[in-house]
Amino acid sequence: MSAKIIDGREIAARMRAELKTEIEKLKTQGIVPGLAVILVGDDPASKSYVTAKEKACEEIGIYSDDNRLPAETSQEQLLELIIEKNSDPKIHGILVQLPLPKHIDDSAVLLAINPSKDVDGFHPVNIGKMVADKKAFLPCTPHGIIQLLIRSGVKLDGAHVVIVGRSNIVGKPLANMLIQKSPTGNATVTICHTRTKNLADHTRRADIIIAAAGRPNTITDDMVREGSVVVDVGVNRVEDKTKKAGYRLVGDVDFEKVKKKASLITTVPGGVGPMTITMLLYNTVESAKMTAR
């Protein structure tokens, strides 16, 4: 057998079309969803990512407020800008691109964002609401993974999901979301990590494996049972002299071998990545809709 590909680009495009329709309705009420993007410094990967977000905003009709600051910007200056955006009625979401320069405290910046505009879903208020199963902005990558699965016809109710990775960005929030008593949850979740003994014993029992370890070939074909669903969150650079850049991107899964055993599998790139930006747009639209009520 060979797995069917879960096409993140196609699912993201469908969701963005849905969002565009919602934005058009909001505009008839005089509301244009606005996202403030703040980038400090000139990290190439961050610049590329921010540009992609701004392009996505433009395509579906979200107002993108671009704030690019020099690397020497002080923490105080950055916090002042965030406070300004908190009180700006044209702005419904605030995104501060990480990583920040070393002289700036990430936690202080995160706490400065008004939770009602925290469209990344990382403010402690939103994390607390998520854990308590209250309405909140959900972290974009975990929420995107759940949308990928649901829109691909994967049943979560009663499924055994093994998450390999325990980060605050993916592993922990995703586990919390999947165990909630809801149509997008009701799964039984096992969290594995770098200190897990006999990792393959856990993954071979999974209906769904979500690899978010940040290491190539963490999941190999002998660790996957026939017919399971595999979602690869990893994005790793490996040397490849045949490429102009000198490297290629791979995930955490040995794709070519694992796809012969899985029933559904994501690719890297083109799987989870497009969904992360899409859920950021989704949260921004949700924030704008709250102002319309």
Catalytic machinery residues: 53, 97, 120
Write down how long the chain is.
Answer: 293
- Counting Cβ atoms within 10 Å, is residue 95 exposed (0-12), middle (13-18) or buried (19+)? buried
Q: What is the CA radius of gyration of the chain?
A: 19
Q: Are 252 and 224 in contact (CB under 8 A)?
A: no
- Exposure of 116 in the CB half-sphere (CA atoms within 13 A): 12
Q: Are 211 and 253 in contact (CB under 8 A)?
A: yes
Q: Are 144 and 272 in contact (CB under 8 A)?
A: yes
Calculate the alpha carbon distances from 203 to 88, 170, 198, 211 in Å: 47, 18, 9, 10
Q: Given the structure tokens 């070939």, which residue do they identify?
A: 217
- Exposure of 197 in the CB half-sphere (CA atoms within 13 A): 0
Rounded distance between C-alpha atoms, residue 57 and residue 35, angstroms = 8
| Nearest alpha-carbon partner for 165 in 112, 107, 232, 220 | 232
- Dig out the tokens for 189 from the structure: 């979740």
Reply yes or no: is the peptide bond before residue 101 cis, omega within 30 of 0.
no
Interacting residues of 55 by C-beta distance below 8 A, sequence separation 6+: none
Rounded distance between C-alpha atoms, residue 45 and residue 166, angstroms = 23
